[in-house]
Amino acid sequence: MISVNFIKSLIQETIIEKNFFLVEVKVSSSNKIEVYIDSEKGIRIEDCVLISRLIEGQLDREKEDFALEVSSPGIDQSFKVKEQYLKNINKNIEVLSLEGKKISGKLVLVNDEGFEVEEMKSKKHPETNKKVKEIVKHQFVYSRIKSAKLIIKF
């Protein structure tokens, strides 16, 4: 069976050379290989073809049959690696905590342990009774969230 680590080793050098980052590699028990790559500037079809050919050139279909898909992660997919958070600084994201609480706001800080989101809230001013906007900062640790996704507005 083809291993995830073997696939990663085949493409690691090229990913670094091209300033891509690896989001995820999956290999099913039936040898369906899924590779998700991204970069600061996004991924083009030509980039996916390059990685696909690189992998195919190192695998022997005579020994093991496989299916291969190389793509960028979908915009509706949850972030999986720190680089995805870095790519989306100053953009609006939605975070779902392990406790089930949803927070939407601007991603403002990313580090090795987690990230910070600024949520814009409206509340009534105690003296004037008028609505005022207030920024609430939320810190998250990667291991304490279910998902974090980019909010897409059309």
Token pair 């090795």 in the structure block, residue: 112
In angstroms and rounded to an integer, the radius of gyration of the C-alpha atoms of the chain is 20
More confident residue, 135 or 61: 135
Q: Where are the domains of the chain?
A: 4-71, 82-150
Alpha carbon distance 83, 72 (integer Å):
13
CATH number of 4-71: 3.30.300
Q: Do domains 4-71 and 82-150 have the same CATH topology?
A: no
- Stretch (H or E) spanning 120: strand 114-124
- Contact in structure between 114 and 95 (CB atoms under 8 Å): no
pLDDT 10s digits, 6-59? 999 999 999 999 999 999 999 999 999 999 999 999 999 999 999 999 999 999
User: CA torsion 41→46→47→48, rounded to 10°?
Assistant: 120
Alpha carbon distance 52, 96 (integer Å):
33
More confident residue, 75 or 36: 36
Query: 82-150 domain in CATH 3.40.50.170?
Result: no
Joined tokens for residue 121: 């809230």
Q: What is the pLDDT of residue 126?
A: 79
